[in-house]
Homo-oligomer: A and B are copies of this chain.
Amino acid sequence: MTTKNKILDAAEKLFADKGFNGTSLREITSQAEVNLAAVNYHFGSKKELIKAVMSRYMNELSPRLESALITICNEEKQPTLVEVFSAFVEPLLALNQFKENGTSNFLQLLGRGYTDSQGFLRWFLTTRYPVVIDSFITAVHKAYPELSTEEMFWRLHFTMGTIVFTMSSSDALMDIAKNDFNKNIDIAGVIKQVIPYVAAGVGAPIR
């Protein structure tokens, strides 16, 4: 286990739990049991560390997601919106084999990135992984061609909000669900719950 990876692992969990702004380098390095200065030595700055944490996941996720979406785009038949959103499931859950609690951690990080840090992570992701976004939009358009570009813009952002918010507070939600309904739901369960919701939202009738 290298120092660099110890830092990445500790940072990932703390960032997911408490946000980027809410986590100090001192927390990270003491959890990782490395020296404080190691972060700046290995990554240069806290901002670069954040990028490194996100990149580790994106590089794992984006090829799978990309090919799943492109497959849908190239098929003959018109997909349903549920099918489009279901394309995310396998690539997302594959992160659990890549790393323990990978799916949950990644989605929480994504949520943090959109609300912490004044949108710099949004810029980072959209400029670094544009193909994923484009093929997703194409797939949605194929499933619901009547949706205008503008309405699609809004509905996809609503969807982003649904996912991101749900995931950044998924720990709290799963706790409540356990107390109130005596059901142990995991991240895969949450994902399966949310797909019909966002598919119906995006597919809502126009006007």
* Count of chain copies: 2
- A116 neighbours in B (Cβ, 8 Å): 19, 115
- A160 neighbours in B (Cβ, 8 Å): 165
- A118 neighbours in B (Cβ, 8 Å): 18, 22
Mark each residue of chain A from 161 to 173: 1 if its CB lies under 8 Å from any CB of chain B, else 0: 1111110110011
Interface residues on A, range: 35 or more
Known contacts being A197-B201, A204-B199, is A150 close to B183, with CB within 8 Å?
Answer: yes
In the complex, the answer to whether B150 meets A181 with C-beta atoms within 8 Å is yes
In the complex, the answer to whether B21 meets A21 with C-beta atoms within 8 Å is yes
Residues of A with Cβ closer than 8 Å to B? 18-19, 21-22, 111-112, 114-116, 118-119, 149-151, 153-155, 157-166, 168-169, 172-173, 176-177, 180-181, 183, 190, 193-194, 196-205
A-B contact pairs, 10 of them (CB 8 A): A115-B116, A115-B165, A119-B172, A150-B180, A154-B177, A160-B165, A161-B162, A162-B165, A196-B205, A199-B204
